[in-house]
Amino acid sequence: MKKTERQQLILEFISTKKISSQEEIVSLLEKRGLYVAQATISRDIHELNIVKVVSKTGGLCYERAIQQSQTEQQTIGKSPILQIERLNNQIFLTTLPGNAYAKKREFREILEDIFAMISDDDSLLLTFHTENSAKKAEQILLKELL
């Protein structure tokens, strides 16, 4: 089974069942005849932006961090970023609820010269070492909105 097919199964599992551990995912995959290590599941969870959240019943379960309604996707495209503002060497972003943490993780990989990042559920503040670095980052982020 290909990686993409395995990851699609994982997404199916977390959307249809209350999954609270990686071992549960391993077990569900084994029931489908797929044997993978827990470390593989851990990497898949990271790549799919899956996080643990408090469920409606109070326990912890896995959920995809970036979830948009069909209306939101049609309105703003595929980006969960709603607004970008730059002031000197800082950039402030507003995101759809539940998306700032995932974007923070993504920005660590794609943006350079970051001094610090602070995020909550729906906003993210990026501080760069120089104003020039912030300008370059702003251009990259604006492309994501298009």
Identify whether residues 83 and 118 lie together within a single domain.
yes
Do 46 and 75 have their domain in common?
Answer: no
Q: Which residue's entry shows tokens 């593989």?
A: 40
State which residues form the domain around 133: 70-145
Half-sphere exposure of 135 (CA within 13 A, CB side): 4
Q: Please identify, among 46, 64, 82, the residue that sits at the C-terminal boundary of a domain.
A: 64
Query: Do both 41 and 104 map to the same domain?
Result: no
pTM of the model as a whole: 0.49
pLDDT in tens, 45-73: 888 888 877 777 778 888 887 544 444 44
Q: Are residues 95 and 134 in the same domain?
A: yes
Same domain, 77 and 139: yes
Tell me the torsion sign for CA atoms 4, 5, 6, 9. Answer: positive
CATH code at position 97: 3.30.1360.40
Would you say the C-alpha torsion 13, 47, 141, 96 has a positive or negative sign? positive
Task: Give the per-residue pLDDT at 36.
Answer: 94
Count of domains in the chain? 2
- Please tell me whether residues 104 and 137 are part of one structural domain: yes
Which of 28, 68, 65, 69 is CA-nearest to residue 50? 65
Residues of the chain with pLDDT under 70: 66-78, 146
CA-closest candidate to residue 89, choices 143, 123, 132: 132
Task: List the alpha helices (DSSP H) in the chain.
Answer: 3-16, 22-31, 38-47, 70-76, 100-110, 131-145
